[in-house]
Chains A and B, each alone.
Chain A
Amino acid sequence: MSESKAQRFVALCMLGMVLFNFPILALFNVRGTLFGVPVLYVYIFCAWAALIALMALVAESAR
C-alpha cells in the first residue's frame, strides 16, 4: 500500500524531469506572450504548479 504511493511519487519525479528538460522546454523557448507574459515564463510556472498539485494529491491520498 505504501508501495503504490512510492511508485506514484517516483512517476511524478520522472514527469517533472521530462517537463523541465530538453526538448519540452525548447518548445516554449520562443518569443511570444500569453496574457502579456512571455510564453516560457508562463509555461514553467504553470507546469511547476501543476506538478506540486499532483504531489499534494498523492501525498494526501489515503493509500
Chain B
Amino acid sequence: MLHGSIIIFTSFAYLGLLFAIAYYADKRADAGRPVIASPYVYSLSLAVYATAWTFYGSVGRAAADGVGFLPIYIGPTLMIALWWVVMRKILRISKQNRITSLADFIASRYGKSAVLGGIVTVIAVIGILPYISLQLKAVSTSYSILVQYPDITMPTSATAAPLAADTAFWVALILAAFTIAFGTRHLDAAEHHQGMVAAIAFESLVKLLAFLAVGVFVTFGIYHGFGDLFSRAAAEPKLRAMMAPLGGVAGGYASWVWLTILSMMAIMFLPRQFQVTVVENLDEKHLNKAIWLFPVYMLAINVFVLPIAFGGLLHFPDGGVDADTFVLTLPMAEKQELLALLVFIGGLSAATGMVIVETIALSTMVCNDLVMPVLLRMRALRLNERPDLTALLLGIRRGAIVLILLLGYLYFKLAGEAYALVSIGLISFAAVAQFAPAVLGGIFWKGGTRRGAMAGVLAGFGVWLYTLLLPALARSGWLPIGLLEHGPFGIELLKPLELFGLAGLDQITHAMIWSMTANIGAYVGVSLTASPSAEEHRQASLFVDVFTQSGEAGGARFWRGTASAPDLYNLLTRFLGGVGADEAFRDYAAAKGRRWPDERLDADAELVHYVEVQLAGAIGAASARVMVASVVKEEALTIDEVREIVDEASQLVVYSHRLEQKSRELEAATGELRAANERLKELDRLKDDFVSTVSHELRTPLTSIRAFTQILFEAPDVELEQRKKFLGIITKETERLTRLINQVLDLSKIESGRAEWQASRLDLREVIADTVTGMSQVFEERNIRVELKLPERVAAISADVDRIIQVLLNLLSNAAKFCDPAEGRIEIALSQHGGSLRVDVRDNGAGIEPAYQSVIFDKFRQVGDTLTAKPHGSGLGLHISRQIVEHYGGRMWVESRPGGGACFSFTLPIDIAAASRAA
C-alpha cells in the first residue's frame, strides 16, 4: 500500500538527503576542497535542463505525435556544438566582470544600464512563470495519482479545490522554504552556490536512473523488447500514423525547425541554464567534457520516451489516462509499488532541481537588477549610510523566491489546466528566446546600443505577450475567447493566433516568427540610428574584444578621478560584510605584491575598478556603478575620449602584432642568410677541391709527356722501336689531356647553364643501336659479348641526340672497361614505364662496393685506390652523364653488389620537351 504518509515521508527524506549533500559540498568549498570542481559534476548540473517537462511531458508529447518532443533536445545539442565559440566568450566576459545573472550580463554590456537590467528581469520573471507552474502541476498531479494507488484515476480539476487542500499550493510553499535554505544562507561575492550545484548534479542522476528504470521495465518487463512493442503498436491503425509523423500528426517541417531553433536559444538563455553554465562555472576547461557529456545525457534520457508512450497508448487504449502521466501510471497498473515510488521521486528531482535553480537565478536578478537599483536611488531611505547591507540583500532575495513561487502557483491556477505540460513550457522558451539578439549581438557586434537592445527586447516581448500569453489566458476563460476567434474589436487582421493573416502555422512557430522579426528588426534598426554613450562604447569594446583585452584590468583604462582607499573599503564592507571586504582587499594587495593592511594601497583607477567588479558580484553591475560613483569623485569621460582609448588599445594591439610579424620575418631572413652563407662556403670548398683535383689530373699526363719527351730529347740514340713506343705513349697522354680539358669545359658549360641543347625528335632504340654499332670495334677487341634488349617500339622523345649519345657512350665504355676481362658480357635493356623510358646497362664485372655506390657520380671520384692503381679515365664522365639526364628531368643510379656486376640505369621522361623547358 502506498499511503499518503509514506509518499510524503519519502519525499521529505529525499529532500533531507539533498540538503545533506548540499551542506557537505558547502563545507568542502569553505575548506577550499570543492567537490564540484569536476567536469562530470558540471555536466550533470547542466542537466537541470531536463525538468518535469522532460520527465513526464515528453511522453505526453510523444503519445500525441511521435517525434515532436525531440527538437527540444536536438536543438541544444546543435547549440552546444557552437559553445566553443559562443559560450567560452560569455564565460570569459562573465568572469572578468563578475556577472551574476542574465539580466546583469545584458545590463552590463549595454552601458551598465539599470533600466535595461530591470526590463530583462521583469520579462524573465513573467516569462518563466508558466514554466514554474508546470513543475508545480507535475508534482501535485503525480502525487494525487500516486496516492490513489492501486486505483488509477486522473485528479479532478485543481482549480475548484480550496487553498488549504490544494497540493500545488503546499508544494510551492515547501519548495520556497527549501530554495531559501539552499540558495540564500549567506552572500557570496561571486554568487557561487556550490552546495546547490552538488545537489542538482545528484538530482540529475536520480531522475535519469528513475526514467531509465521505467523505460527498461516497460520495454522489457511489460513487452518483449523494442521490436515487440513497436510491432504491436503498428498493428493499431490509430498509432500507425505516428511511425512516420512528420508533415502529418507532428506538424510540418517548419514546426520542427522552429522548435529546434527555440530550444537552441533556451539552452543558452533560460535563467537557470545561465546560472549553472556561466555563474556556477568554476573552470572554463570543464566546458571541454560538458560539450559532449551533456548531449549524451539528453540522448540517454530520451531513448525510452517513445517505448513508454506507445506502451501507455497500448495499455490504456480508451484515453481515460492522461498521456503526461504514463511514466507513473504504467508501473502502477502493473502493481510495481516501489518502481512507482521511484518514478515519483525522479519526477520530484526533476521538478525541484528546476525550481531551486530557476528561483535562485530569478531572485538574484530581482534583487540586483530590479529592487536594489530602485532602493539605492531613493535618497529618503539613506541606504548609503547604513553600515551593513548584507541582511537587506538576503531579505530581498528570500522575499523574491517566495513571491516568484506564489506567482507560479497563481499562473497554474489561472492557465495551467488548459494546456499539456510541453505546451506550457514552450511558452516560457519563447519568452527567454527574446534575449538572444541582445546577448549574441552584444558579444559579436560592437554597434549594438542600449536603446537598440531595449527596443528589441521590448518589441519581442510585446509580441510574445500578445501571441502566446494572451491566448493562454483566454483559453482558460480569464479573457473573452472571442478575442482569439475574431480579433480585438473584431479586427480579423489582429487575431493573436493569426497575426496579420499569417495562418496555417502552429502557435509557437507563429509567435516565434513574429516576435523574432520584431525583436531583431528593432534591435538592429534602433542600434543603427541611435549613437552610443561613452559608457556603452567602452562596455561594447570590453565585451566584444574580451579575448584580446588584457584581463580584469582592461576596464580600469577608462576611469579618471580621485578616490580614497578607506572609502572604497567601507563601501565593500557594507555589501560583502567585514570578512568579505578584508578578503577582497588582501587578494588585491597580494596581486600587487603588497601586504594589506600593513601597507597603504593607492586608490588608483585599478583599485576603483576592482572594487566595482567585486561589488557587481553582490549587487549587479548597474547598482555597483552607482555605489562606486557615490564614494569617489569621477571625471566623466566623453564619448570621444572613450573612443580614443579604445582605438589606442586596438592600435597597440595592431602595432604589437605588426612588431611580432616583423621580428618573425627578420628571424626567417637571418635563417636564410645563414643557410646561404653555409652554401657559399661549401661551394668555395668544392671549387678549391675542384681546382686542386683538376690540376692533379692534368699533371699526371703532363708529367709522363714531359718525361718521355725529355728522354727522347736527351738520348737521340734510342732505338726506333723504343722511340715509337715512347711517341705512342706521348700521343695517348696528349689525347687523355685533351679529353680531360674538353670534359672540364663541358662540365662548366652544363653547370653554369651555358650549354647548348639542340632538341630533335629521336627514337631511343635507334640511338642505342647506333651507339653500340659505333663501339663494336672496342667490344671485339676485348672479346665482349653485347646483348641488346629493345622493345618493338617506344614513344619518341625530344632531346639533343649528341648528349644522349654522350651518356650512352660513357656508360658503355665504363661497362667495357670494368666487365669480366675473360668472358665479358654487357646487356643493354630499354623499357617504358608509365611516363618515362628506362635504359639499363649491365656488366658482369667485379661490381662496386656499397660504400662507393653513392659517390661514384661525384666529380673526380673513381672506384679503387687512385694512388696504386692506374685510373681508367678522368672521373668526370659519370658526373656529366648524370647532369645531362637530370637536365631532362630524369634520374640516374647504380645497382650493384660486389662480385655480381653492376647495372647503371637512367630514365628519361617521355615528355622531355616540357620537362627541359621548366628546368
Q: Is the CB of B84 within 8 A of A5?
A: yes
- B67 in the interface (beta carbon within 8 A): yes
Q: Per a CB cutoff under 8 Å, which of B70, B82, B234 touches A9?
A: B82
The verdict on A36 contacting B228 (CB below 8 Å), with A29-B247, A44-B70 known, is yes
Q: Is the CB of A21 within 8 A of B85?
A: no
Q: Is the CB of B244 within 8 A of A38?
A: yes
Q: Is the CB of A31 within 8 A of B243?
A: yes
CA distance A39 to B244 in the complex (A): 8
- B881 in the interface (beta carbon within 8 A): no
CB contact list, B53-85 vs A, under 8 A? 66-67, 70-71, 74, 77-85
CA distance A56 to B84 in the complex (A): 12
Stretch of B112-120, B252-260, B515-523 at the chain-chain interface = B252-260
- Chain B nearest Cβ from A14, distance in angstroms: 9
The residues of A that contact B306 with a CB separation of less than 8 Å are 41
Q: Is the CB of B292 within 8 A of A29?
A: no
The residues of A that contact B247 with a CB separation of less than 8 Å are 26, 29
Q: Is the CB of A25 within 8 A of B84?
A: no
- Chain B nearest Cβ from A48, distance in angstroms: 6
The residues of A that contact B83 with a CB separation of less than 8 Å are 9
- Chain B nearest Cβ from A41, distance in angstroms: 6
Chain B window 228-263, contacts with chain A (Cβ cutoff 8 Å), 1 for yes, 0 for no: 101100100000100111110000010011001000
- Chain B nearest Cβ from A62, distance in angstroms: 11
Q: Is the CB of B77 within 8 A of A48?
A: yes
Chain B residue at minimum C-beta to C-beta distance from A30: B244
Q: Per a CB cutoff under 8 Å, which of B84, B234, B245 touches A6?
A: B84
The residues of B that contact A25 with a CB separation of less than 8 Å are 246, 253, 256
Q: Is the CB of A35 within 8 A of B226?
A: yes
Q: Is the CB of A13 within 8 A of B292?
A: no
Chain A window 38-55, contacts with chain B (Cβ cutoff 8 Å), 1 for yes, 0 for no: 111100110011011101
- B291 in the interface (beta carbon within 8 A): yes
- Chain B nearest Cβ from A55, distance in angstroms: 5
Chain B window 248-283, contacts with chain A (Cβ cutoff 8 Å), 1 for yes, 0 for no: 000001001100100000000000000000000000
CA distance A29 to B248 in the complex (A): 10
Q: Is the CB of B77 within 8 A of A51?
A: yes
Chain B residue at minimum C-beta to C-beta distance from A33: B230
The residues of A that contact B256 with a CB separation of less than 8 Å are 20-22, 25
Q: Is the CB of B74 within 8 A of A12?
A: no
Q: Is the CB of B246 within 8 A of A36?
A: no
Q: Per a CB cutoff under 8 Å, which of B71, B85, B228 touches A10?
A: B85
- A17 in the interface (beta carbon within 8 A): yes
Q: Is the CB of A59 within 8 A of B291?
A: yes
- B296 in the interface (beta carbon within 8 A): yes
Chain B residue at minimum C-beta to C-beta distance from A13: B81
The residues of B that contact A35 with a CB separation of less than 8 Å are 226-227
Most chain-A CB neighbours within 10 Å: which of B80, B240, B247, B256?
A: B80
The verdict on A48 contacting B291 (CB below 8 Å), with A12-B81, A26-B247, A26-B253 known, is no
- B502 in the interface (beta carbon within 8 A): no
Chain B residue at minimum C-beta to C-beta distance from A47: B74
- B289 in the interface (beta carbon within 8 A): yes
Chain A residue at minimum C-beta to C-beta distance from B287: A59
- Chain B nearest Cβ from A61, distance in angstroms: 10
- B183 in the interface (beta carbon within 8 A): no
- B299 in the interface (beta carbon within 8 A): yes
Q: Is the CB of A59 within 8 A of B226?
A: no
Interface size class of B (residues with CB under 8 A): 35 or more
Q: Is the CB of B81 within 8 A of A38?
A: no
Chain A residue at minimum C-beta to C-beta distance from B233: A38
CA distance A31 to B231 in the complex (A): 12
The residues of A that contact B74 with a CB separation of less than 8 Å are 16, 20, 44, 48
- B295 in the interface (beta carbon within 8 A): yes
Q: Is the CB of B243 within 8 A of A40?
A: yes
| A interface residues, tally (CB under 8 Å) | 35
- Chain A nearest Cβ from B440, distance in angstroms: 14
Q: Is the CB of B260 within 8 A of A20?
A: yes
Most chain-A CB neighbours within 10 Å: which of B81, B228, B234, B243?
A: B81
Q: Is the CB of B244 within 8 A of A52?
A: no
Q: Per a CB cutoff under 8 Å, which of B66, B253, B295 touches A22?
A: B253
- B303 in the interface (beta carbon within 8 A): yes
- Chain A nearest Cβ from B250, distance in angstroms: 9
Q: Is the CB of A59 within 8 A of B244?
A: no
- B288 in the interface (beta carbon within 8 A): yes
CA distance A36 to B229 in the complex (A): 9
CA distance A59 to B291 in the complex (A): 7
The residues of B that contact A33 with a CB separation of less than 8 Å are 227, 230-231, 234, 243
The residues of B that contact A17 with a CB separation of less than 8 Å are 78
CA distance A19 to B83 in the complex (A): 19
The residues of B that contact A56 with a CB separation of less than 8 Å are 291-292
The verdict on A9 contacting B81 (CB below 8 Å), with A20-B260, A38-B244 known, is yes
Chain B window 33-70, contacts with chain A (Cβ cutoff 8 Å), 1 for yes, 0 for no: 00000000000000000000000000000000011001
CA distance A41 to B79 in the complex (A): 22
Q: Is the CB of B288 within 8 A of A59?
A: yes
Q: Is the CB of A6 within 8 A of B244?
A: no
CA distance A51 to B296 in the complex (A): 10
Q: Per a CB cutoff under 8 Å, which of A6, A36, A48, A52 touches B292?
A: A52
CB contact list, B204-244 vs A, under 8 A? 225-228, 230-231, 234, 240, 243-244
The residues of B that contact A48 with a CB separation of less than 8 Å are 74, 77, 299
CA distance A8 to B842 in the complex (A): 56
- A37 in the interface (beta carbon within 8 A): yes
- Chain B nearest Cβ from A36, distance in angstroms: 2
Q: Per a CB cutoff under 8 Å, which of B78, B226, B257 touches A37?
A: B226
Q: Is the CB of A37 within 8 A of B230?
A: yes
Chain A residue at minimum C-beta to C-beta distance from B243: A38
Q: Is the CB of B299 within 8 A of A52?
A: yes
Q: Per a CB cutoff under 8 Å, which of A10, A16, A38, A40 touches B77?
A: A16
- Chain A nearest Cβ from B842, distance in angstroms: 52
- Chain A nearest Cβ from B489, distance in angstroms: 39
CA distance A35 to B228 in the complex (A): 10
CA distance A10 to B61 in the complex (A): 31
Q: Is the CB of B244 within 8 A of A40?
A: yes
Q: Is the CB of A40 within 8 A of B246?
A: yes
CA distance A6 to B230 in the complex (A): 41
The residues of B that contact A40 with a CB separation of less than 8 Å are 66-67, 243-246
Most chain-B CB neighbours within 10 Å: which of A33, A41, A56?
A: A41
CA distance A20 to B243 in the complex (A): 17
Chain A residue at minimum C-beta to C-beta distance from B231: A36
Q: Is the CB of B253 within 8 A of A55?
A: no
CA distance A21 to B112 in the complex (A): 40
Q: Per a CB cutoff under 8 Å, which of B77, B244, B260, B296 touches A29?
A: B244
CA distance A29 to B77 in the complex (A): 21
CB contact list, B66-107 vs A, under 8 A? 66-67, 70-71, 74, 77-85
Q: Is the CB of A45 within 8 A of B303?
A: yes
The residues of B that contact A49 with a CB separation of less than 8 Å are 299
CA distance A25 to B81 in the complex (A): 20
The residues of B that contact A38 with a CB separation of less than 8 Å are 230, 234, 243-244
Q: List 23 A-B contacts (CB under 8 A).
A: A10-B82, A13-B82, A16-B74, A16-B77, A16-B78, A16-B81, A20-B256, A25-B256, A29-B245, A33-B230, A33-B231, A35-B227, A36-B225, A36-B227, A36-B228, A37-B230, A41-B306, A45-B299, A48-B74, A53-B292, A55-B77, A55-B81, A56-B292
If A13-B78, A36-B227 are given as contacts, then 18 extra A-B residue pairs at C-beta distance below 8 Å, sorted by A number, are A10-B82, A16-B74, A16-B81, A20-B260, A21-B256, A21-B260, A25-B253, A31-B240, A33-B227, A36-B226, A37-B230, A40-B67, A44-B74, A45-B299, A52-B77, A55-B80, A56-B292, A59-B289
Taking beta carbons and an 8 Å cutoff, which residues of A are in contact with B?
Answer: 5-6, 9-10, 12-13, 16-17, 20-22, 25-26, 29-31, 33, 35-41, 44-45, 48-49, 51-53, 55-56, 59-60
Taking beta carbons and an 8 Å cutoff, which residues of B are in contact with A?
Answer: 66-67, 70-71, 74, 77-85, 225-228, 230-231, 234, 240, 243-247, 253, 256-257, 260, 288-289, 291-292, 295-296, 299, 303, 306
A-B residue pairs, 4 tightest by C-beta:
A36-B227, A56-B292, A13-B81, A38-B243
